[in-house]
Chains A and B, each alone.
Chain A
């Protein structure tokens, strides 16, 4: 029998509320960090700039990104235009920075080992971190949507919504559909956030983790653009990100939306289980 087998089992006392405090701490830190606030400011500037630009010069129908021509008639379309513009680059950038920093940032600055001394297991730490990243991801999407909605309402007013199919629905239904669009984008980006967290467990260099996470998006988008690879397009990370357009058709194909969402969540499950395994087996020295 080796000496290692004689080590006593580690008994961690369980304090009530420790997990909740950990989660609150995660969200609090990410919201106080100046870099993250700057990212949110950039995100909120995008719908604002599009709104002002459209206000100053009315675009013709069919110009620019999708829905741009409809903003002047209904400010709600600024939400959809802003999300369409933000989803390929700006939102993944924000998600990549926050998720890439989540573990590697702590390891790099030498605070991860102190975090592991609080009375929670590594699993719970990962769960708290994941929830923190998910919260920030949702917040980033919400910032784009809410600033878009407010800017659009102030500059152009709100009204009945013309769907992609040409049918018109009431403003209330339109707002519900905008909510569906935002929720879908949040779920889609959560798959990427989980990828960022896994990459973040692999290194102590937060910048490398962030860059790799954003690289993940670029590689996926690149593969998606090669027609010869059409066989694998359906399962690529970024392929269905613009699937939120489904919410703007008269007859929403819920089966398709659920299928795409399941794919995003499957990515999240695989990446998070990888992150968990890596964290369990990792020697935390810093």
Chain B
């Protein structure tokens, strides 16, 4: 029996989809493979050289996309997945994308991207604007004229957000370098297409839940490109990284923000006489003990524990847990968190995640740290509130 040309042709027809799929696969995979090896071999550098290079980096203009991922083992909290809202819920679960533009100390813009939403912080000279597309609310802060050079530090929101950029996170992590840390340099990373050194910090104290912190630093521009914090798992529990970066100065239009017509604008002026008065009042209140007691830090280095006294913790969403309330609705973050707590023999409650452990003491204090639960218990026992 022979195969007829017709049936051969029929069979040959099926090679078309195979070839199409293969061509598409090759087109997607080849450019990334051809661009350069994923593991560049850079000249060896010590950690000290690397840190000095970062300190002296003269890069003041850049733009790029940052992807932040938290794998804390917490379930995704309600209403936070596609939202671009700038709240704590958005940063502790899931993946979030932001775009940043820097032009010196006077001009920065950050845009947190949601699927069909966006939150922006624009700093231009003395003006700091925040805009949220969900609520269309605009907040405008006028910074004091004399403090223009340190303007970024006054913009509270911008400052909070900087902790989640590679630069800010690297600075925070580098401050934590003490004799308690083993430091190593790996010269074989590639982040956002740039060859990079990786500074690996490993805590010597095993009671810390942080296994290691890896900071990738651009080999030519000395800019931190990625920060990864590893807990017990193989994948980093927290990661923030540039997925693309350009060191060219962004267009001036990026920093020119005019509030949309019809939007509610809340204005705030920093450094006015009225504010100083309010600050002085608060100061006397704290001195006389009428204000809420501020949080304290117990321990040093990797095993530091933040202790929130009962009175300040009272306003946090965690406080509802200590009172064991079950009345909250099933979809509130509090209710979700309450499923995650375990009650210890001492009667305290423990909220455990891949990186951070939270002890909700019976007396209302809340202890937070990247440490094993036993350290939290010791801190709770050693510092009665």
**Interface residues, chain A, with chain B CB atoms under 8 Å away:** 2, 4-5, 7, 61-62, 66-67, 69-70, 73, 84, 160, 162, 164-168, 227, 230, 242, 245, 248-251, 253, 266, 269-270, 273-274, 276-277, 280-281
Contacts and interface: CB of A to CB of B under 8 A. Distances in A.
Contacts of A281: 10-11, 13-14
B116 A270 contact: no
B95 interface: yes
Contacts of B14: 277, 281
29 contacts: A4-B4, A4-B6, A61-B135, A66-B116, A66-B117, A67-B116, A162-B136, A164-B118, A164-B133, A165-B133, A166-B118, A166-B133, A166-B257, A166-B259, A167-B258, A167-B260, A168-B258, A168-B261, A250-B254, A251-B254, A253-B99, A266-B24, A270-B17, A270-B20, A273-B16, A273-B17, A273-B19, A276-B16, A277-B16
B297 interface: no
Contacts of A251: 99, 254
Contact of B135 (A5, A62, A167, A248): A62
Nearest to A281: B10
Interface string B259-302: 11111000000000000000000000000000000000000000
Interface string B1-36: 010111001110111110111001000000000000
A152 B118 CA distance: 23
Contacts of A67: 116
A270 B24 contact: yes
Given A273-B20, A280-B10, A280-B13, A61 B4 contact: no
A159 B136 CA distance: 17
A165 B16 contact: no
Q: What interface size band does chain B fall in?
A: 35 or more
B5 A165 contact: no
A95 B234 CA distance: 43
A73 B136 CA distance: 12
Which 10 pairs show the lowest CB-CB distances between chains A and B? A166-B131, A281-B10, A66-B116, A280-B13, A162-B260, A4-B4, A273-B17, A164-B118, A273-B20, A277-B13
A268 to B, nearest CB: 10
A230 B137 CA distance: 32
B4 A5 contact: yes
A75 B103 CA distance: 36
